[in-house]
């Protein structure tokens, strides 16, 4: 089914802005602002003890999450990426952020040990978006997400609104995960701005 050309143009213009000009606190941050607004709503609602962000780039979103936790007076960020050489000093120095370098799949046990037993956990997956990697991350890190919290899979818009990224990619990996795991459901209310970079990617743990 072909996409409305006007909508496609709008998505492409937003993508260009995200990839070339968007910053948080002066740090390049590749996040759709409408999704990011939903993130702060979820963090305020769920008040997780830990937010695990997989894929950190320059660290802008990790810093934003840490600032949210400062306002809450509660919570820590665990950043996971295969390469942390591009992180800004303001991010590295923040006391609420801990970074673990390496492939998210290979360092899972190390990350799991950073999470205190009985803590509440939210996960945001924003790695390289290949199908196999995304599915493996879902299978592993979903074990850490607590009931009522969220596993957010970013950039399902790849070939589902924008002709970018791997194909199959995160959208297909999420569907494959949900086909075999009934402990999560897609929370469509998180997509009600009408434009999201994470279609079917806001997964709420229900049991």
CATH number at residue 96: 3.40.50.150
> What pLDDT does 196 receive?
97
Structure tokens at 95: 């006391």
Per-residue pLDDT of the chain (207 residues; tens, 9 = 90+): 456 889 999 999 999 999 999 999 999 999 999 999 999 999 999 999 999 999 999 999 999 999 999 999 999 999 999 999 999 999 999 999 999 999 999 999 999 999 999 999 999 999 999 999 999 999 999 999 999 999 999 999 999 999 999 999 999 999 999 999 999 999 999 999 999 999 999 999 999
Burial (0-12, 13-18, 19+ Cβ within 10 Å), 60: buried
Number of domains in the chain: 1
Asked whether residue 57 is domain-assigned, the answer is: yes
Angle at 166 between CA 163 and CA 167, to 5 degrees: 80
Give pTM, 2 decimals: 0.96
Asked whether residue 150 is domain-assigned, the answer is: no
Asked whether residue 43 is domain-assigned, the answer is: yes
Task: Give the three-state DSSP class for 99.
Answer: strand
> What pLDDT does 2 receive?
52
CA 200 to chain centre: 13
> What pLDDT does 12 receive?
97
Asked whether residue 186 is domain-assigned, the answer is: yes
> What pLDDT does 5 receive?
86
> What pLDDT does 1 receive?
43
Residue corresponding to tokens 């050489």: 85
Q: What is the span of the domain harbouring residue 93? A: 5-144+155-205
């Amino acid at each position: 089914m072909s996409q409305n050309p006007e909508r496609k143009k709008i998505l492409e213009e937003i993508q260009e802005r995200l990839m070339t000009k968007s910053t948080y606190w002066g740090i390049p941050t590749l996040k759709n602002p409408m999704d990011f607004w939903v993130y702060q709503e979820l963090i305020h609602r769920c008040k997780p003890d830990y937010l695990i962000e997989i894929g950190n780039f320059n660290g802008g979103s990790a810093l934003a999450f840490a600032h949210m936790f400062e306002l809450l007076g509660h919570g820590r960020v665990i950043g996971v990426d295969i390469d942390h050489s591009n992180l800004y000093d303001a991010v590295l120095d923040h006391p609420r952020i801990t970074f673990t370098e390496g492939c998210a799949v290979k360092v899972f046990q190390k990350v799991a040990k950073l999470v205190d037993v009985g803590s509440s956990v939210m996960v945001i997956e924003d790695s390289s978006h290949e199908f196999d990697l995304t599915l493996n991350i879902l299978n592993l890190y979903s074990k850490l997400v607590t009931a009522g919290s969220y596993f957010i899979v970013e950039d399902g818009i790849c070939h589902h609104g924008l002709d970018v990224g791997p194909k199959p990619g995160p959208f297909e990996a999420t569907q494959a995960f949900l086909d075999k795991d009934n402990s999560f459901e897609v929370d469509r209310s998180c997509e009600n701005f009408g434009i999201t970079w994470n279609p079917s990617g806001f997964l709420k743990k229900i049991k």
